[in-house]
Structure 1
């Protein structure tokens, strides 16, 4: 196959490159010297080039088990279809020093205890918390990973990370970069507006383009009995305002976006610096708008008590006409509205524009964590043998080995010659082996998910196994939501401060955040006048906000160099 030829050629080229520059490799405290050192370097280069160790090696790590990480056939994190694959395919024995659940921060707590007790760290470790990654870096036990990545990472792996160089920012120090970012799908959690299309059709309305259009629709949804039950018991939109104004699902952030800002994050300022979105003048206008909507009954008064799931229940029960969140909400949880209201029909629309023609929505970060490599690892290059293979083969399922997904009988089944991802067709049910991998989800290229779904949404034929898989999971509603999401890329605003808390943040941020949440909620519910926003901004600045802004921008300037 052409893919196999390409892989062979790529690996030969990579081998040639790493062999030529072997003498420039940084030494490691556990490395032998003299002729033995040269032999070891050759062995390392051979393993990276071939994608396998002829003489199996052991790579130690620790395991984080999320609620969605499930097992069957008596398997565990330490012994499963993935660990056996790593040994057979790559010559790598994955050894877990310990495992812990991510629930209630058990994994993070266990790791911090290991740090404080000076327990030996594993050869490689993956974390999804930027602060925790930097605490590990501060321990002095991990390598400058960027130099190893430059040397050993495969072409597809490099392409994935190079799509967004800012991934490196949180792990960058003056003397090096000490963790490798874990790429994740781009635009995955960016906001679209889901609207009950059957209500629009019944009332003879079109989808909104502006906030004014949206307000007219919400007025009709509240006052013109769209569900036809003769009662005034419907809402224009449901929102989750209990914990945040920029939640992922059931979010209110797009209202702020219509005025040029996103709250609770650091956005680009006109002068090239970063500014805190919640003190932007646009936030005052957004709060005024939300307050008006609550007074008019467009937003339920209980929204201040709703978390994301509770807010979604109002939509799925058939009582709310709109909800804002990611494109994938069509399945979970919004599809449940059809169980409660069989005639319900909903579609995705772009977030509306504000008075000045602006539109803004939450932007998804393109990475989900980082991997650190121990200075004392006997085979520090082993992570690249492992991860290169996944990027070159699994990321787009380009090889026959991963034609359908990770492993037959686990995440898919072949039934009558056709692939099925239905749990009922898989003996023992469906589990996801890619969740057992070191970097959480196998290997992800940020642009690949939207490129895949976008091609299918346009009616294109699947171009690779990745798209064949997506085509089996997707339907017309998914494609419609994807198309809106892709067409709205220019509206996305990612949080630009992705570093660890600054000096002043450590002592002042909690109080500032509490004050912000209380002030914003009281303004929205009419307990404070809108002009109280100006007092909030003055107090925010004088209570550490100005110092934090300076520190954030000092960080931003340092990592952009």
Structure 2
């Protein structure tokens, strides 16, 4: 579930339920060239007044004549069904590329997404890489170090449309910076909306009403609610078998809790193994070893001793905890924006009286709490060195942006996005990037339509969500989750609040893992997991955190920090 959850935030919310069941950096050349952006449905914008060298082999409208052929590889999602003789090489997206641009795409292989990275590693080792493909951060660095990638600096500056540049820089230049090596743009970042995934606090409001408790406004309120949910029998079964706060063995559900203490530890259960912050001297340090983490662990130990945390949390992953939540045994949890659909909708289906409400994370003091987020990049689109037309991937990316995000035509949506039977056709694209706040912007339009009853400005996907909310308002509880996300005051409104107030702390390390990380991480991860768990369980005093910090540095952390700062100096 952890891998799939991470991928969710890059997808449209209309696809969530289906998907769930499935270097040294310098600033790149981001100079804007004169371009024209088309808002027409399903059409792509093209740079204006290209030079003769830039149109070699292309018509005036930017179409290659004769057509060119590019090879690629890609994951094949289980939510895509081929009909009418279509295939990975012959579908509405590939036909559109050829018709509009004269670009033929030949897929050399496709595999289940869970196997893609490994298959790509084998392909790289073979030396026979395709013309363009998506690489992980590690693969990207390896390919660049081996001088196997095309330099896209000038291509991007001259050929990328304003529309594409806006898509890739919605959160600033960090994504492009991460794809820049020695001053050269060596790939196009596969951007994802990581900030939309910042955790909120979810509270069972039906229990609040039952116990005559007000909604939380501070962390002290959260503690009082946790105690009441544990001790005052909110499920009315005569037993003390409920818990105030959801905690899993990997602490995935505690990110928002730590952030309330201004603590930003890395995770020992995901790709976010480390989280690097600037210290008072301007160097990078690990968020895992900061004193704010100790304070958060101390409070968690208190909650555990007060029996407000499941005593068996150390043996339960998120799936097991979600089962407890659905069965009505936990009253608060931290989670991302899609939490009302999963896992809370499952609890609502079992018990229609169950009600949850999301709140922004609270601070333990007068300083506003900020959510930790990672760089919104889930890999890089790269072009093999020597490919004659590397700019072709920018044309396809522009088509994606105009077709997927900008059109309001129901016909185009059904053709390129998703069909009425739920076929996720949009996953057949050969290059994509996701807007940083796509769902936030979508929620604004849906809320406006709900207020005005005017749906003329909604695209097909948004109309679908709008209709689900109307069904919920008429009593259809199976659409409760959609209403909790997109209605006024829902989880996307909280994401919008974080966005408007810039309540984020972003990991400063934005390149592939360094050699020392790969070498030292296993022992550091084990130390991290064991120490934090022992402290919460009360098997070690809170002051054990100080010994943990020393051991972390001695067992390889110092070497990791030295290498990270060496990279950081070259980046600056």
Q: Flag whether TM exceeds 0.5 (same fold).
A: yes
Aligned to 2:5: none
Match 2:259 to one of 257, 260, 266: 257
| C-alpha distance 477-400 of structure 1, shift in aligned 2 (>3 A) | closer
Match 2:305 to one of 259, 273, 295: 295
Aligned to 1:42: 56
Q: Does 1:148 align with 2:158?
A: no
In structure 1, list runs of 5 or more residues that go unmatched: 26-40, 414-425
Alignment of structure 1 residues 54-73 onto 2, 5 Å? 54-72=65-83
Shift of 1:448: 3.2
Aligned to 2:271: none
Shift of 1:199: 0.6
For residues 557 and 261 of structure 2, what CA distance do their matches in structure 1 show?
A: 22
> 1:166-217: CA deviations, max 9, x gaps?
1123332215121110222353211011111111111111222322211110
| C-alpha distance 85-8 of structure 1, shift in aligned 2 (>3 A) | closer
| C-alpha distance 7-335 of structure 1, shift in aligned 2 (>3 A) | closer
For residues 197 and 326 of structure 1, what CA distance do their matches in structure 2 show?
A: 18
TM-score (norm 2): 0.82
Q: Does 1:135 align with 2:148?
A: no
| C-alpha distance 124-238 of structure 1, shift in aligned 2 (>3 A) | same
Match 1:117 to one of 103, 119, 126: 126
Aligned to 1:101: 112
Bigger shift: residues 68-77 or 160-169: 68-77
Give the secondary-structure state (helix, strand or coil) at the position aligned to 1:353: coil
Query: How many corresponding residue pairs?
Result: 505
Give the secondary-structure state (helix, strand or coil) at the position aligned to 2:108: strand
Bigger shift: residues 280-289 or 379-388: 379-388
Aligned to 1:328: 338
For residues 160 and 483 of structure 2, what CA distance do their matches in structure 1 show?
A: 38
CA contact (8 A) 2:130 2:384 kept: yes
Give the secondary-structure state (helix, strand or coil) at the position aligned to 1:282: helix
Aligned to 1:307: 317
Aligned to 1:436: 428
| C-alpha distance 5-523 of structure 1, shift in aligned 2 (>3 A) | closer
Alignment of structure 1 residues 147-546 onto 2, 5 Å? 147-163=154-170, 164-242=172-250, 245=251, 247=252, 251-264=253-266, 265-363=275-373, 365-398=375-408, 402=412, 404-407=413-416, 411-413=418-420, 426=421, 430-439=422-431, 442-457=432-447, 459=451, 463-465=457-459, 467-468=462-463, 470-472=465-467, 475-478=482-485, 479=487, 480-489=490-499, 490-546=502-558
CA contact (8 A) 1:259 1:282 kept: yes
For residues 356 and 270 of structure 1, what CA distance do their matches in structure 2 show?
A: 20
CA contact (8 A) 1:63 1:77 kept: no
| C-alpha distance 485-400 of structure 1, shift in aligned 2 (>3 A) | closer
Shift of 1:116: 1.8
For residues 332 and 40 of structure 2, what CA distance do their matches in structure 1 show?
A: 50
Higher relative CO (Cα under 8 Å, sequence separation at least 6) belongs to 2
> 1:93-119: CA deviations, max 9, x gaps?
21011122222xx22222222222222
> 1:525-553: CA deviations, max 9, x gaps?
11111111101111212333223223212
CA contact (8 A) 1:3 1:398 kept: no
| C-alpha distance 555-473 of structure 1, shift in aligned 2 (>3 A) | farther
TM-score (norm 1): 0.83
CA contact (8 A) 1:52 1:385 kept: no
Give the secondary-structure state (helix, strand or coil) at the position aligned to 1:514: helix
Shift of 1:383: 1.2
> 1:483-536: CA deviations, max 9, x gaps?
122213433323221212224223222211211111111111111111111011
For residues 214 and 555 of structure 1, what CA distance do their matches in structure 2 show?
A: 40
> 1:4-36: CA deviations, max 9, x gaps?
67999953xx130x32xx55x7xxxxxxxxxxx
| C-alpha distance 70-210 of structure 1, shift in aligned 2 (>3 A) | farther
| C-alpha distance 310-111 of structure 1, shift in aligned 2 (>3 A) | same
| C-alpha distance 256-227 of structure 1, shift in aligned 2 (>3 A) | same
Give the secondary-structure state (helix, strand or coil) at the position aligned to 2:312: helix
Q: Does 1:79 align with 2:90?
A: yes
For residues 492 and 9 of structure 1, what CA distance do their matches in structure 2 show?
A: 33
CA contact (8 A) 2:57 2:66 kept: no
Shift of 1:450: 1.2
CA contact (8 A) 2:71 2:132 kept: yes
Give the secondary-structure state (helix, strand or coil) at the position aligned to 1:188: helix
Give the secondary-structure state (helix, strand or coil) at the position aligned to 2:418: coil
Q: Does 1:556 align with 2:551?
A: no
Aligned residues: CA RMSD: 2.7
Give the secondary-structure state (helix, strand or coil) at the position aligned to 1:536: helix
For residues 545 and 82 of structure 1, what CA distance do their matches in structure 2 show?
A: 47
Give the secondary-structure state (helix, strand or coil) at the position aligned to 1:187: helix
For residues 379 and 415 of structure 2, what CA distance do their matches in structure 1 show?
A: 22
| C-alpha distance 9-345 of structure 1, shift in aligned 2 (>3 A) | closer
| C-alpha distance 304-389 of structure 1, shift in aligned 2 (>3 A) | same
| C-alpha distance 6-381 of structure 1, shift in aligned 2 (>3 A) | same
| C-alpha distance 68-352 of structure 1, shift in aligned 2 (>3 A) | farther
For residues 487 and 432 of structure 1, what CA distance do their matches in structure 2 show?
A: 30
